[in-house]
A and B are shown apart, each in its own frame.
Chain A
Amino acid sequence: MLHSVFGKALRESRRGIAAWAIGIAAVGMMYAAFYPSMADPAMAEALRAFPPELLEALNMGDLTSPAGYLEGSTFGLLGPLMMIIFATVLGSRAIAGDEEDGRLDVLLAHPVERWSVVVQRGLAMVVALATAGLVLIVGLVAISGPAQLTEIGAANLAATTVQLVLLACVFGSLALGVGALTGSRGAAIGAVAVIGVLTYLAHTVLPDVSGFEWAENLSPFFYYLGGRPLVNGLQVVDSLVLATTAVVLVAIGVIGFVRRDIAV
């Protein structure tokens, strides 16, 4: 286990994982700490000056309740953004990055199957993202008292973070899958950037565009926050949709990877 491809991947990125986990939790906590000033009635008054569609598009439809505030801040924008970037770094490096650096030859000439390398490095990515999620939960629970967010409860904070980790897994798997399929780190990152922006818009803007409401169902962001886990707890079906999507993306990558040539 410790000396497997999985264990090696985790050990080699342990410092990066620690740095990202602390960074993401710190940003999440800082954001959360601003809630008391947002709950001020004067702020609610000020926000009325903005068009509701704009606030909705930024996940800021209801900034004055604890759950609404976190949906617009920690879990609405910077949280997913940082988690997705972290996942993309891990996913694009796992196969494509190593291949571009010429590091795959030595490993793949060893008695380890190619599919297994993709799967083990994918699992290492999941563990890294889950670690960041765990640190985030601890941080948010710790700050929820001083930040007057206790009405959400630790369970729902944890549930939402789980769904955030699953969202990150989808984009990390997209980067891993495209990277395994193409061997190009640029293609892997590009795929996340394009699909990330499109599906984010599909969740935030398209529901307001008549004739395009259906597009929301294709967006991972819909399955992440659409069921309001901060209010309603863990959304099992949404979580399964995200997890299945991630698995399918990795599987597509594996199918391509075992068939193609490894670049020099």
Chain B
Amino acid sequence: MSAVIETNQLTKSYGSRRGLAGLDLEVRPGEVFGFLGPNGAGKTTTIRILVDLIRPTSGTATVFGTEPRAGGAALRARIGYLPGDFVVNGNQSADELLTHLGHLRGRVPHERIRTLAHRLGLDLHVRIRSLSKGNRQKVGIIQAFMHEPELLILDEPTSGLDPLLQQTFLDLVREAKANGQAVLMSSHVLSEVQQAADRVGIIRDGRMVEVEAVESLRRRAVRRVEIHFGEPVSADAFTGLDGVTDVRVEDRVLRCRLAGRADPLVKAAARYPVESLVVAEPDLEELFLTYYRADTEPEATDAA
């Protein structure tokens, strides 16, 4: 089956400012795709093109093989969308809003709304205006999920949710995936999507710089390593080893970062008496930052 979302050299200019500069994105059927990048990289611009709120300057975008503008209401009926900034008339209860939106989508069983609200711990009868930011986000999540769309497009879905609710949200994403629904979710924090995503795409300055399976990303991920030795060691013995960076030695303790295979570091350490060895969980954030750092290079910051 062909891709659920496919963009080809997608470009969007806002006057002289460039929102997207030739973005290629592919989301496959039934996959959860994490769309990552710093604020302002073009995530929201891409997403708003996909739901036809804005139109591309050049390049193509298709959802289920149809351009969003040509697909119109029929195409949007198959999508659940959570905007990055979920704003609605606050002068109504969540129940009123969701019932109204449910009618726009055809019949959404009210039972489904109640179930989702219960799982997220949302009181449907409070005026939206008096809800906290996190509770408002729950309303947004419910309206995106309630009609069980074939495709979920979620812009920063976990913003404002506490860690417990983030887990509930990730459960919903996993259930959607098990149900055969595809998911595109954006974030500027990798840890928020790595648990649920199959693949991750990293966007910078309006371009996709890397697309990788979360598994292989994890394998390449940078780990912080701390080794305590039985005797003082010299930093020279560890600097320059394959995959080892940031070597710091204080008397008997070595601290460094390790990317990829652990073998060279372990072999080098084995020459000394090792008291203890601590390898932190792979910190994908670290790897992620290496993509961001290129941001500061002069050619990349030029506002073409």
Seen from chain A, the residues whose Cβ lies within 8 Å of a Cβ on chain B are 3-5, 8, 12, 101-113, 261-262, 264
Asked if residues B53 and A111 are in contact (CB atoms below 8 Å), the reply is no
Asked if residues A111 and B91 are in contact (CB atoms below 8 Å), the reply is no
A264 to B48 Cα, complex, angstroms: 9
Task: Say how far B91's CB is from chain A's closest CB, in angstroms.
Answer: 7
A232 to B99 Cα, complex, angstroms: 49
A102 to B83 Cα, complex, angstroms: 10
**B238 contact set on A, CB distance < 8 A:** none
Asked if residues B53 and A261 are in contact (CB atoms below 8 Å), the reply is yes
Tell whether B220 is near chain A: CB-to-CB under 8 Å. no
A125 to B8 Cα, complex, angstroms: 42
A105 to B55 Cα, complex, angstroms: 14
Asked if residues A264 and B73 are in contact (CB atoms below 8 Å), the reply is no
**A106 contact set on B, CB distance < 8 A:** 81, 83, 86-88, 101, 140, 143
Given contacts A102-B87, A103-B89, A264-B85, contact A109 B76 (CB under 8 A): yes
Q: Map CB proximity to A onto B61-76 as digits: 1 under 8 Å, 0 otherwise.
A: 0000000000011101
A105 to B84 Cα, complex, angstroms: 10
A12 to B44 Cα, complex, angstroms: 29
Seen from chain B, the residues whose Cβ lies within 8 Å of a Cβ on chain A are 44, 48, 51-55, 72-74, 76-77, 79, 81, 83, 85-89, 91-92, 99-101, 103-106, 140, 143
- Nearest first, the 4 A-B pairs at minimum CB distance are A3-B103, A111-B77, A261-B54, A102-B87
Asked if residues B53 and A12 are in contact (CB atoms below 8 Å), the reply is no
14 contacts between A and B (CB under 8 A): A4-B104, A12-B92, A103-B87, A104-B53, A105-B48, A105-B83, A106-B101, A106-B143, A109-B79, A110-B104, A111-B73, A112-B73, A112-B104, A261-B54
Asked if residues B81 and A3 are in contact (CB atoms below 8 Å), the reply is no
**A101 contact set on B, CB distance < 8 A:** 87
Can you name the residue of chain A whose Cβ is closest to the Cβ of B153?
A109
**A112 contact set on B, CB distance < 8 A:** 73, 104
The prevalent SS among residues of A at the interface is loop
Asked if residues B143 and A3 are in contact (CB atoms below 8 Å), the reply is no
A12 to B129 Cα, complex, angstroms: 14
**Interface residue from A12, A110, A264 paired with B76 (Cβ < 8 Å):** A110
Can you name the residue of chain A whose Cβ is closest to the Cβ of B92?
A12
Asked if residues B74 and A111 are in contact (CB atoms below 8 Å), the reply is yes
Can you name the residue of chain B whose Cβ is closest to the Cβ of A110?
B104
Asked if residues B92 and A108 are in contact (CB atoms below 8 Å), the reply is no
Asked if residues A109 and B89 are in contact (CB atoms below 8 Å), the reply is no
Task: Say how far A183's CB is from chain B's closest CB, in angstroms.
Answer: 12
Residue with the highest number of chain B CB atoms closer than 10 Å, among A4, A104, A110: A110
**A3 contact set on B, CB distance < 8 A:** 99-100, 103-104
Asked if residues B76 and A111 are in contact (CB atoms below 8 Å), the reply is yes
Task: Say how far A135's CB is from chain B's closest CB, in angstroms.
Answer: 23
A65 to B140 Cα, complex, angstroms: 60
**B89 contact set on A, CB distance < 8 A:** 12, 103
A52 to B31 Cα, complex, angstroms: 79
A3 to B143 Cα, complex, angstroms: 16
**A103 contact set on B, CB distance < 8 A:** 87-89
Task: Say how far B149's CB is from chain A's closest CB, in angstroms.
Answer: 10
Can you name the residue of chain A whose Cβ is closest to the Cβ of B55?
A261
